[in-house]
Amino acid sequence: MRDLGIVFNYELRQQLGKRSVRVTTLILVIIALLATSIPRISAMFSSGGGDDKPAAANNTLVQDTGYVFADEAQRALYTTLLGLREGNDYATRDDLVAALKDKQLTAGFVFTGDADFEAVYQDKAMEDRRENMLSQIVAQHHRDVMLAEKGLTAQDLAAIEGFSPQITTTVMGKNTENNILLSMILMVVVYMLVLIYGNTTSTIIAREKDSKAMELLITSTKPTPLILGKVAAAGVSGVVQFSLIVLAALGGFLFSQDYYDPMIRQMLVGSLSQSYILTYLFFSITGYILYLFLYAALGSTVSRVEDVGSATAIVQFIFIAGYVASSFVMNAPGGSVAVATSLIPFTAIMVMPMRAGMSTVPAWQLLTAGVLMLLTVALFAWLSIKIYRWGSLNYGNKTNIFKVVREALGAGRRAKA
């Protein structure tokens, strides 16, 4: 126990004491805080004045724009609607075209009826939207006239179009719409945590073997406290670093939650029930430890740091398969694929928390998956110790994992004999 504490404290100081780790963590904390505070920040710098939009639209339809009307009544109507000035009105289409050719105008509109008009340009810019703007104004006026003929007002039409039945929704389990966003964010957190610190753990062990430091360690300390101390230190350092980032993101959200869209706010807090938090923490942490033992074991099978990537490729493939499987859970959280992959320890780390966020998982499935996860963690912890002991005595070319397991277990049996 004393040796385990020594190894754990040393490795933890080595990982958290690095300046690069501290600086990176600080930068990520600041980014998380700012990213979740964007709604409040944008509200501080955004200007009000939404009431000026109609005036701005009308001004666009007046500046450098000419009109030819079908009759005097129409001229009087649109002069009031658009706020036309002297110089916007032309007697004939030919006069309007001449003004366009002389660059006095950039656009012109010739009304051929009550609600019909021709748009005339000398050159039309891609961003010019005056034609659409005038069309909306004409359509609005035409609708008002039609409503008046039927004895209705715009308010009457709005009441008719805005009618919707009174709906009462009762969700006895989980609401997927409210839970999917938070579940995806937390899934990505676990994904990054395992890949970053799993590779770090295997690289540390491979570097010790490459520099012959493993031979000195194995002679002064048993493999059990060495491998358990390294895995525990990597696990704690990863949890600490990501916890700081998550807390910063949570603080930014709480600081700016009043500025979030209600739907987004509901999607971010919808899954935060006690049962979901416990399920997420259990399967994420135990699965994280399981993969750390796998990375540690594979890191001790290579003799050079450069070979770590190829040695751990199989673990990354299995983990990514769990990530892909969790994406299918979004559409069918109770399907056979979701149930099967949530019970397998290597994929349960990703799938079970996602299922728990999307639907109500039966208690027997949670219990079965939890027991299988704990047994698998214990098995691979024991196996990684055996492989670490084997790796400390074997140097040379890379070998496949199945041969390593056979030789490591065979060496253990010979040592007992």
Q: Which of 46-50, 83-87, 301-305, 352-356 has the lowest mean pLDDT?
A: 46-50
* Same-domain pairing of 128 and 276: no
| Per-residue pLDDT at 52 | 46
Highest mean pLDDT among 150-154, 369-373, 393-397: 369-373
Cβ count within 10 A of residue 5:
12
C-alpha span between 288 and 280 (Å, rounded): 12
Q: Determine the Cα–Cα distance for residues 78 and 73; give it in Å rounded to an integer.
A: 9
Domain boundary among 139, 161, 183: 161
Asked whether residue 350 is domain-assigned, the answer is: yes
Count of residues in the chain: 417
Confidence of residue 309 (pLDDT cuts 50, 70, 90): confident
Average pLDDT, the chain: 79
Going by C-alpha positions, the residue among 255, 245, 194 that lies closest to residue 28 is 245
Higher per-residue pLDDT: 17 or 47: 17
- Are residues 194 and 152 part of one domain? no
Alpha-carbon span 133 to 142, nearest angstrom: 14
Q: Which two tokens stand for residue 344?
A: 């397998």
Is there a single domain that holds both residue 157 and residue 187?
no
Residue 65 lies in a domain: yes
- Spatial distance between the Cα atoms of 109 and 130, rounded to a whole number of angstroms: 10
pLDDT digits (tens, 9 = 90+) for 239-286: 888 889 889 888 888 888 778 777 777 666 655 677 888 888 899 999
Instruction: State residue 70 phi and psi, 5-degree precision.
Output: -75, -35
Dihedral sign from CA coordinates of 345, 346, 349, 354: negative
Mean pLDDT, to the nearest integer, of 206-210?
Answer: 70
145, 208: one domain: no
Contact 231, 413 (CB under 8 A): no
DSSP H helices, 331-400, are 336-343, 345-358, 363-393
Instruction: Give the CA diameter of the chain.
Output: 113
Q: Mean pLDDT over residues 122-132, rounded?
A: 86
**Residue 43 belongs to some domain of the structure:** no
Q: Provide the pLDDT for residue 49.
A: 46
Instruction: Tell whether 213 is covered by a domain.
Output: yes
SS (H, E, C) 108-142: EEEECCCCCEEEECCCCCCCCCHHHHHHHHHHHHH
Q: Are residues 189 and 332 in the same domain?
A: yes
Triad 242, 244, 245: Cα angle to 5°: 65
Cβ atoms of residues 351 and 329 within 8 Å: yes
- For residue 372, is pLDDT > 80? yes
| Residue finishing a domain among 116, 133, 161 | 161
Q: What is the pLDDT of residue 369?
A: 93
The pLDDT score that the predictor gives to residue 415 is 47
Any domain includes 206: yes
For residue 100, pLDDT over 70 is answered with yes
- Residues 114 and 187 occupy one common structural domain: no
Residues 90 and 211 in one domain: no
Q: pLDDT tens digits, residue range 381-412?
A: 888 888 877 766 665 555 555 566 665 566 55
Whether residue 399 sits in one domain with residue 273: yes
Going from the C-alpha of 403 to that of each of 133, 183, 398, 410, the distances in angstroms are 74, 39, 11, 10
Q: What is the count of structural domains for the chain?
A: 2
Per the structure, the complete domain to which residue 290 belongs is given by: 8-36+175-416
pTM for the structure as a whole? 0.64
The pairing of strands 117-120 and 107-111 is antiparallel
Beta carbons within 10 angstroms of residue 318's beta carbon:
14
Answer for the pair 365, 342: CB distance below 8 angstroms, yes or no: yes
CATH of the domain at 70: 3.40.190
- How far is Cα 9 from Cα 12, in angstroms, rounded to an integer? 5
Instruction: Summarize the confidence of residues 32-56 as an average pLDDT.
Output: 68
Do 149 and 185 reside in the same domain of the chain? no
Q: Look at residues 41, 83, 43 and name the one whose alpha carbon lies nearest to residue 61.
A: 83
Gap between the Cα atoms of 192 and 386, Å rounded: 28
pLDDT of residue 176: 59
Q: Average pLDDT of 64-83? A: 89
Domain closes at, from 130, 161, 192: 161
Least confident of 41-45, 122-126, 232-236, 369-373: 41-45
Identify the residue whose tokens are 């895995």: 231
State percent of the chain over pLDDT 70: 81
Domain membership flag for residue 50: no
| Residue 358 falls inside a structural domain | yes
Please check the confidence at residue 328 and state whether its pLDDT lies above 80.
no
How far apart, in whole angstroms, are the C-alpha atoms of residue 58 and residue 36?
Answer: 38
pLDDT at 53: 47
User: Tokens representing 26?
Assistant: 């600080």
Per-residue pLDDT averaged across 125-131, rounded? Answer: 85
How far is the first Cα of the chain from the last one, in angstroms, to the nearest whole number? Answer: 26
Please tell me whether residues 19 and 123 are part of one structural domain. Answer: no
Q: What is the pLDDT of residue 51?
A: 47
Chain segment 167-194, per-residue pLDDT in tens? 766 555 555 555 667 777 778 888 888 8
How many CB atoms are closer than 10 A to CB 167?
A: 5
Does 49 fall in a domain? no
- HSE-CB of 148 using CA atoms within 13 angstroms: 6
Segment 219-238 shows an average pLDDT of 78
Amino acid 210: pLDDT: 59
Instruction: Indicate whether 101 and 211 sit together in one domain.
Output: no
The percent of residues above 90 in pLDDT, for the chain, comes to 14
Q: Are residues 314 and 268 in the same domain?
A: yes
| 221 CB-contact burial (10 Å; exposed 0-12 / middle 13-18 / buried 19+) | middle
DSSP 304: S
